[in-house]
Amino acid sequence: MDGLQVSTAVVDDARSVVSLSGELDMATADLLWAELEPVLQPGRTVVLDCARLEFMDSTGMRVLLRASRRADEVGGAFQMTAVPPPVERVLALAGVTSEIPRG
């Protein structure tokens, strides 16, 4: 069980990149939220780099939607980049593809 690795890089005052590697599922979703919540700040764009994300389920997807909503609430931005097909598939099946912008 590989789990999920999350690393956050602060690019500058206005931008952070959170990179995921491994599997975002019901066991690891809380870990991602714990990483994302502190960086979802006013005026800050948080880009979630999914290039090495191998799996995501509906619990993981809920964290992304929550992050997107939080960014809207505080006046920041939340984007995804390099989204692999299995991850796009979950977003499409849930009908939320357009809810998270792509960076």
Partner 1 sequence: MAEPVPQQMTASNSGEATGGPAGLAGSPVRVIVPADKTYVALVRSAASHLGARLGLTMQELTDLRLAVDEACGLLLLPGEFDTTGAELHCRFDEYPDRLAVTVSAEASESAPDVDGFGWNVLSALVDELRWSYQDGWARVELVKRATAAER
Residues found near partner 1 in the complex (CB under 8 A)? 1-3, 23, 25-27, 55, 57-59, 61-62, 85-86, 89-90, 93-94
Residue number, 15 or 57, with CB nearest to partner 1: 57
Residue number, 23 or 35, with CB nearest to partner 1: 23
d(CA 49, CA 1): 21
Residue number, 59 or 79, with CB nearest to partner 1: 59
CB of residue 1 to partner 1, shortest distance in Å: 4
